């Protein structure tokens, strides 16, 4: 059998299918081939490699626009006490992954402050990509590199220290980093009652009503078949509901997942790779969680004096470190979140952590981060970012997780045994993301 | 808009596509047009080079399904906004990890600003997944096993300031930090953009500490 499928969309001219037009077999051949193309792009069946992965590239699906950061802080950024030398300060710093298809980010900092600052994004070698001079309470836009890890920082200018950050109160309430698209239409693209002539999948495990039409059906002299039309109609309705997630109103075709938690079968386009015929479904680059944990100075020293506990400096928002007397490892970050229902057999969950490399950093005994998300952790060693940044970064991949479940995202810190000094390392930010 | 290839979202009646049914042009129009509609929703661009898409713009103003909830695709379960996260760990030198300290006198409030992805407003009777974010918490009590009342309030501009729009939940705490899944949901403007919700909590005795809070997309297609 030679399966009918168009390699690119063909469609039919208006005149071919207008009222009172002659009946052409070519319209149904084109429709069958186009529908097969859509089915394969959504499922990855029949060796289709240009699956729908939502990168924004032609034929690969609309970008998702998932925000990178939506974090409430409610922290005062005021230097207090004496004993901590002031200087350029990274009041906010983290690393995050920007999905393919996105070329700029919007930064909204909700703050009580007019403190001037420099907001910048760098690559992981600390080469500047873009920066802007702004006020702490601001909305700004920066260019980014699609499909790459970035280092993000908000730095306070030394010249403004006494005039603003250190002399008056600065409070940051929330930080939102996103892609800035709002205000599109809110149309109902589907009728409240779903399509007529719906058709349940062939078996309970099928995601879509999958039909393969033989090219011979459309050979010269072959008749236009009512059966072809009826099966094509069912296939299109099935794909429409699979794609849009809009199953209501059609009792004969109420697609539901196989369970309310961690379903083995997803009947909808959701990159789950769960269920029959979806093993090759496209997977998504997907930001999950990104957090700012504290501040540090740009020279690598901490934002507070080197004491446990500290008594001066940015006491409300300094980057945390493990007590020099504590056993290792120790949890430094814990956030409870909902995990996506992505496939877990070959986990695409990755993580990154960034820290300040203090003056006591021991290159022979570098700090390590263990990233976990409800399952076994993955440990990675912090390495020097370079570029005069005084930053270190650790990345991990294939982190185990359970789909469609609540989980604690945890970052634990450890280091080789031996005496430890205070200003070795402090954790500035972490991020978890999916990247196949 | 110039369209050389038909694109429609017509649904032919069952009888029109049965064997022995007369072959009507409208069947061809529906099946051909729906193929283009499907292609553009999936691919995210016009099916025909040089032509505008036949599908309407999605809530982001772009073309195609963007998985922002029906009818623009099944929503992806995920954290949508978070508060705190520095571990509550005595072996960690850090500022206070508490994001909220609840007392017995009145509800303690903390506002949270978050960027909401634009999404479709569903018909009455349905809750859009990205409009109704579920609250997850980590919390503990200073002593005993008090009850923590938590709720979410809508903010400006979607609801009147201070309007309580969420379900209130009661959690039984202990002195050990624990995970909680509440029934509290937000009510957000589907137009998207920067919006505000307020987390409130009050405890029956002593002091309660919330060390991490997260608003999550907890359903794929709404309820």
A121-135, A191-205, A378-392: the lowest-pLDDT one: A191-205
What is the DSSP secondary structure assignment for residue A364, as one 8-state letter? T
Q: Residues A53-74: what's their mean pLDDT? A: 97
Residue A314 scores a pLDDT above 60: yes
Neighbours of A389 (CB within 10 A): 21
A26-35, A263-272, A276-285, B36-45: the lowest-pLDDT one: A263-272
CB-CB neighbors (< 8 A) of A327 in chain B: 91
Q: Are A106 and A180 in contact (CB under 8 A)?
A: yes
Which residue did the predictor score with more confidence, B222 or A343? Answer: A343
Q: Residues B117-146: what's their mean pLDDT? A: 89
Residue pLDDT, tens place only, A69-82? 999 999 988 777 77
Asked whether the beta carbons of residue B44 and residue A270 sit closer than 8 angstroms, the reply is: no
What is the DSSP secondary structure assignment for residue A171, as one 8-state letter? E
> How high does pLDDT run on average in chain A?
87
Chain A: closest CA distance from residue B144 (Å) = 24
Which residue did the predictor score with more confidence, A161 or A279? Answer: A279
- Calpha distance A430→A209 (Å, rounded): 42
A27-36, A212-221, A350-359, B50-59: the lowest-pLDDT one: A212-221
What is the DSSP secondary structure assignment for residue A33, as one 8-state letter? H
Residue pLDDT, tens place only, A420-430? 999 999 999 99
Which residue did the predictor score with more confidence, B198 or A248? Answer: B198
Q: What is the pLDDT of residue B56?
A: 87
Residue A204 scores a pLDDT above 60: no
Chain B: closest CA distance from residue A156 (Å) = 20
Asked whether the beta carbons of residue B36 and residue A288 sit closer than 8 angstroms, the reply is: no
Q: What is the pLDDT of residue A248?
A: 47
Chain B: closest CA distance from residue A384 (Å) = 23
Q: What is the pLDDT of residue A249?
A: 46
Specify the pairing of strand A69-76 against strand B78-84: parallel
Q: What is the pLDDT of residue A304?
A: 92
Max mean pLDDT among A86-95, A98-107, A259-268 falls in A98-107
Q: Residues A346-352: what's their mean pLDDT? A: 97
Asked whether the beta carbons of residue A189 and residue B56 sit closer than 8 angstroms, the reply is: yes
B64 backbone φψ class: left, alpha, beta (φ>0; ψ -120 to 50): left
- Calpha distance A225→A230 (Å, rounded): 9
Asked whether the beta carbons of residue B43 and residue A58 sit closer than 8 angstroms, the reply is: yes
Q: What is the pLDDT of residue A259?
A: 54
B residues 24..53 contacting A (CB < 8 A):
25-39, 41-45, 47-48
Residue pLDDT, tens place only, B60-83? 999 999 999 888 888 999 999 999
Reading the block at residue B14, the tokens are 């069952």
Please tell me if residue B13 touches chain A, with a CB cutoff of 8 Å: yes
Q: What is the pLDDT of residue B186?
A: 86
CB-CB neighbors (< 8 A) of B123 in chain A: 188, 192
Cα dist. A305→A151, A157, A360, A405, A414 in Å?
Answer: 25, 20, 14, 41, 22
Q: What is the pLDDT of residue A393?
A: 98
Q: Residues B103-130: what's their mean pLDDT? A: 87
Residue pLDDT, tens place only, A123-177? 999 999 999 999 888 899 999 999 999 999 999 865 555 555 555 678 899 999 9
Please tell me if residue B181 touches chain A, with a CB cutoff of 8 Å: yes
**CATH code given to domain B78-217:** 2.60.120.260
A113-117, A259-263, B90-94: the lowest-pLDDT one: A259-263
Q: Are A378 and A397 in contact (CB under 8 A)?
A: yes
What is the DSSP secondary structure assignment for residue A164, as one 8-state letter? I
B residues 95..154 contacting A (CB < 8 A):
95, 99, 110-115, 117-118, 120-121, 123, 126, 134, 136-138
Asked whether the beta carbons of residue B93 and residue A56 sit closer than 8 angstroms, the reply is: no
Which is nearest to A393 in space by CA: A69, A95, A92? A95
Q: What is the pLDDT of residue A195?
A: 45
Q: What is the pLDDT of residue A207?
A: 62
Sheet-wide strand order for A286-292:
A286-292, A425-434, A349-357, A391-396, A383-384
Q: Residues A402-413: what's their mean pLDDT? A: 95
Q: Where in chain B is the domain with CATH 2.60.120.260?
A: 78-217
Q: Residues A324-346: what's their mean pLDDT? A: 96
Residue B165 scores a pLDDT above 90: no
CB-CB neighbors (< 8 A) of B12 in chain A: 196-197, 229, 233
- State ipTM: 0.94
| Candidates B6, B66, B110; nearest CB to A64 | B66
Overall pTM > 0.90: yes
Which is nearest to B82 in space by CA: B138, B131, B127, B120? B138
Chain A: closest CA distance from residue B222 (Å) = 10
Asked whether the beta carbons of residue A337 and residue B216 sit closer than 8 angstroms, the reply is: yes
B residues 150..179 contacting A (CB < 8 A):
179
């Amino acid at each position: 059998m030679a399966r009918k499928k168009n390699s690119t969309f063909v469609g039919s001219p208006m005149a071919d299918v207008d009222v009172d037009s002659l009946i052409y077999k070519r319209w149904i051949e084109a429709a069958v081939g186009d529908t097969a193309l859509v089915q394969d792009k959504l499922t990855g069946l029949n060796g289709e490699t240009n699956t729908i992965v939502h990168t924004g590239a032609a034929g690969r699906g609309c970008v998702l626009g998932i925000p990178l950061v939506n974090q409430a802080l409610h922290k005062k950024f005021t230097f207090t006490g004496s004993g901590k030398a002031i200087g350029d300060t990274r009041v906010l710093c983290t690393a995050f992954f920007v999905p393919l298809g996105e070329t700029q980010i919007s930064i909204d900092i909700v703050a009580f402050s007019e403190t001037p600052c420099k907001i910048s994004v760098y690559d992981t070698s600390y080469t500047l990509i873009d920066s802007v001079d702004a006020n702490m309470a601001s909305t700004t836009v920066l260019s980014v590199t699609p499909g790459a890890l970035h280092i993000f920082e908000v730095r306070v200018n030394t010249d403004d220290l006494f005039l603003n950050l250190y002399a008056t109160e600065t409070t940051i309430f929330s930080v939102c980093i996103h892609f800035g698209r709002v205000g599109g239409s809110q149309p109902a693209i589907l009728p409240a009652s779903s399509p007529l002539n719906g058709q349940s999948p062939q078996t309970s495990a099928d995601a879509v009503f999958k039909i393969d039409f033989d090219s011979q059906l459309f050979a010269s002299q072959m008749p236009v078949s009512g059966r072809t039309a009826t099966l094509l109609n069912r296939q299109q309705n099935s794909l429409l509901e699979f794609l849009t997630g809009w199953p209501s109103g059609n009792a004969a075709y109420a697609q539901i997942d196989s369970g309310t938690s961690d379903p083995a079968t997803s009947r909808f386009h959701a990159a789950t790779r769960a269920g029959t015929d979806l093993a090759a479904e496209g997977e998504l680059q997907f930001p999950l969680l990104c957090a700012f944990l504290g501040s540090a100075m740009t020279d690598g020293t901490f934002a507070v004096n080197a004491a446990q506990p500290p008594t001066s400096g940015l006491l409300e928002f300094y980057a945390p470190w493990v007590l020099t007397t504590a056993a290792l490892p120790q949890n430094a970050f814990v956030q409870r979140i909902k995990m996506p229902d992505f496939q877990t057999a070959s986990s695409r969950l990755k993580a990154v952590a960034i820290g300040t490399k203090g003056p006591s950093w021991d290159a022979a005994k570098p700090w390590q981060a263990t990233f976990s998300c409800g399952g076994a952790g993955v440990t990675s060693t912090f390495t020097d970012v370079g570029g005069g940044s005084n930053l270190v970064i650790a990345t991990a991949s294939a982190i185990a997780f359970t789909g469609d479940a609540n989980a604690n995202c945890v970052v634990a810190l450890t280091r080789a045994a031996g005496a430890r000094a205070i200003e070795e390392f402090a954790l500035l930010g972490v991020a978890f993301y999916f990247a196949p | 808009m110039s369209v050389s290839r038909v694109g429609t979202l017509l649904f032919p009646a069952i009888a029109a596509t049965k064997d022995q049914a007369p072959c009507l042009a409208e069947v061809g129009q529906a099946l051909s047009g729906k193929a283009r509609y499907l292609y553009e929703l999936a691919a995210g661009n016009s099916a025909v080079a040089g032509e505008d898409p036949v599908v309407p713009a999605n809530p982001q103003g772009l073309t195609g399904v963007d998985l922002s909830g029906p009818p623009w695709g099944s929503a992806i379960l995920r954290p949508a906004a978070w508060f705190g996260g520095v571990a509550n760990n005595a072996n960690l030198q850090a500022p206070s990890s508490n994001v909220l300290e609840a007392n017995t006198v009145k509800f303690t409030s903390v506002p949270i600003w978050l960027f909401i992805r634009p999404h479709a407003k569903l018909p009455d009777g349905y809750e859009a997944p990205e409009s109704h974010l579920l609250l997850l918490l980590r919390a503990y009590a200073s002593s005993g096993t008090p009850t923590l009342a938590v709720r979410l309030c809508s903010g400006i501009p979607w609801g009147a300031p201070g309007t309580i729009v969420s379900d209130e939940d009661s959690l039984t705490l202990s002195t050990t930090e624990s995970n909680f899944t509440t029934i509290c949901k937000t009510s957000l403007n589907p137009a998207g953009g920067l919006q505000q919700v307020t987390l409130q909590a009050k405890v029956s005795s002593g002091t309660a500490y919330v060390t991490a809070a997260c608003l999550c997309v907890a359903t794929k297609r709404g309820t």
